Structure 1
Amino acid sequence: MKLPPLKALPVFEAVARLNSFSHAAEELAVSQSAVSHQIKQLETYLGEQLFWRSGRTLTLTDEGRQYLDAVSSALLQIERASEQLLGHEESRIRLSVFSSFAVRWLVPRLPELQRLHPQIDLALEMSSENPQLSDRVADCFITVHKNSAAYSYELLYVEQLFPVCSQDYWQKIRRELGREGADADNEALTPDEVARFPLLSTHSIFEKPAGDWEVWYKAVDRDIPSGARIQHFSHMLLALEAARFHQGVALTNDYMLSTRKDSEDFVRLPCHPVITGDEFYFAWKTSRRRERGIQVLRRWLLDEAIRGGLRSGGQGGSEGI
């Protein structure tokens, strides 16, 4: 087995992570010249330049970025394997997750995770967009993109949108539409009836103004009525808060209303839902599939998704294992 200078690998990882020779030297408790020597030795062995140096600016080369992904993963696996043999049960896991999914679905469930699996030390990394799947970012991810062949994926949720409003606003809708009878809660609203009230739109879902309502109307072969009043919000969390405070009708999804006690503040209107095309997956690097902490977290997330109705028990399966 032909290996590179092994002492240089943690040094390379530290320099790349901290983007600094001096900071890496401080973290590793060695001199800066010792760090420089280890990096030079590694570059000589590989025959590749790992960093671009320009004055005080330090950046990874393309070869350096590629090497870092492999080295970081290998060092993590060595650390986890050593901890297992040493009898250290605690598993430190960084999970990158969308802010809305974290706030409305995951965080309320964390006490149950801690009760069932106290050995899991979970650190959440919030993301507003799909992050790069890399050990440098997190150990595992909740993502809607399956764009890395190096990762395995477990389906958690196929997203659908449906209209909601506050309890008080629902009474206002019923009064204005003359639907105050006992069966009004189950009598379907037409798209034209919905458009008589302010439509609270989330830009981030389809990255275009009123894109969510446009898709909702197209599901029944309609355009948004020309006289519709639309209020625009950048994020679903904001639109849902506006709906809570009786400002109109918002489109939301299942996980936004799945566990929070304040979900009782909302009424799901008797209207059609629409599938957005986004599928939420738990993703982990296939080479790390034997790490017990990641698999415990995967199983728990899947069980919670099934128990909470996001996913049926027979739906989908793990891909890439």
Structure 2
Amino acid sequence: MKLPPLKALPVFEAVARLNSFSLAADELAVSQSAVSHQIKQLETYLGEQLFWRSGRTLSLTDEGRQYLDAVSSALLQIERASEQVLGHEESRLRLSVFSSFAVRWLVPRLPDLQRLHPQLDLALEMSSENPVLSDRVADCFITIHRNSPAYSYELLYVERLFPVCSQDYWQKIRRELGREGADGDEAPLTPDEVARFPLLSTHSIFEKPAGDWEVWFKAVDRPIPQGVRVQHFSHMLLALEAARFHQGIALTNDYMLSTRKDSEDFVRLPIHPVMTGDQFYFAWKTSRRQERGIQLLRRWLVSQAIEGGLRGEAD
């Protein structure tokens, strides 16, 4: 078995992660010259330059980035395997998760995870965009893309959007539409009736102004009516907060209203939902599939998704 200088690998990982020779030296409790020597030794062995150095600026070369992905994963597996042999029960995991999913669905459920699996030390890395699947970013992910063949995926949720408003705003809608009778809550609304009120739009769903409402109206073969009032927000969390404070009608999804007590502040309007085409998956590197912490978290997330109605048993 032909191996590179093994002492140099943790040094390389630290320099790449911290983007600094001096910070890596401090973390590893060695001199900066020792760090430089280890990196030079590794580059000589590989016959490739791993870092670009320009004055005080340090960056990975293309070869360095490729090597870092493999080395980081290997070092993590060695660490996990050693912990298992040593009998250390604690499993430390970094989970990268969308901010809205974390705030509205995951965080309120974490006490249950801690009660069932106290040995699992979970750190959340919140992301507003779909993260790059890499051990450098996190150990596992909640993502809407399955574009890395190195990862395995477990379905958690097929996203749909439906209109909601606050309890007080629903009473306003009923009054203005003359639906205050006993059956006022049961008769479905029409798209034209919805369009009479301010529409709260989330830009990040379809990456275009009023894209969510455009898709919602298109589901019934209608364009957005002319003259409709649209208020724009970058994130669904913001649009939902505006709806909570009686500013109009927002499109939201199941996980945003599935846990928090303030979900009772909202009314789901009696009208059609629309599928966004996004599917939420729990993703983990296939080479790490035997790690106990990842499998505990995977099984718990799936059970919570089924129990909370995000995912059916058949899914």
TM-score of the two chains, using structure 2 as the length reference: 0.99
Structure 2 unpaired stretches of 5+: none
CA RMSD of aligned residues (A): 0.6
Question: What SS does structure 1 have at the residue aligned with 2:284?
Answer: strand
Distance 1:70 1:158 in 2: 32
Q: Which residue type is aligned with residue 87 of structure 2?
A: G
Q: How does 1:126-145 map to 2 (within 5 A)?
A: 126-145=126-145
Q: What corresponds to 2:165 in structure 1?
A: 165
Distance 1:226 1:202 in 2: 19
Q: Is structure 2 residue 41 aligned with structure 1 residue 41? A: yes
Q: What corresponds to 1:272 in structure 2?
A: 272
Q: Which residue type is aligned with residue 14 of structure 1?
A: A
Identical-residue share of aligned pairs (%): 89
Q: What corresponds to 2:213 in structure 1?
A: 213
CA deviation digits over 1:62-97, x for unaligned, max 9?
Answer: 000000000000000100111111111000000000
Distance 2:131 2:141 in 1: 8
Q: Which residue type is aligned with residue 64 of structure 2?
A: G
Question: What SS does structure 2 have at the residue aligned with 1:84?
Answer: helix
Q: What corresponds to 2:200 in structure 1?
A: 200
Distance 2:68 2:146 in 1: 21
Q: What corresponds to 1:124 in structure 2?
A: 124
Distance 1:213 1:306 in 2: 28
Shift of 1:26: 1.1
Question: What SS does structure 2 have at the residue aligned with 1:263?
Answer: helix
Shift of 1:22: 1.0
Question: What SS does structure 1 have at the residue aligned with 2:242?
Answer: helix
Q: Which residue type is aligned with residue 237 of structure 1?
A: L
Shift of 1:5: 0.6
Give the count of matched residue pairs.
Answer: 315
Distance 1:268 1:9 in 2: 55
Distance 2:72 2:26 in 1: 19
Distance 2:241 2:35 in 1: 51
Q: What corresponds to 2:13 in structure 1?
A: 13
Distance 1:91 1:269 in 2: 43
CA deviation digits over 1:102-152, x for unaligned, max 9?
Answer: 000000000000000000000000100011110000000001111111111
Q: What corresponds to 2:112 in structure 1?
A: 112
Q: Which residue type is aligned with residue 263 of structure 1?
A: S
Q: What corresponds to 1:260 in structure 2?
A: 260
Question: What SS does structure 2 have at the residue aligned with 1:184?
Answer: coil
Q: What corresponds to 1:229 in structure 2?
A: 229
Q: What corresponds to 2:282 in structure 1?
A: 282
Q: What corresponds to 2:247 in structure 1?
A: 247
Question: What SS does structure 2 have at the residue aligned with 1:110?
Answer: helix
Q: What corresponds to 1:319 in structure 2?
A: none
CA deviation digits over 1:183-236, x for unaligned, max 9?
Answer: 222211000000011111111111111000000000000011102111111111
Q: Is structure 2 residue 293 aligned with structure 1 residue 293? A: yes
Q: Which residue type is aligned with residue 292 of structure 2?
A: R
Distance 1:106 1:6 in 2: 39
Shift of 1:59: 0.5
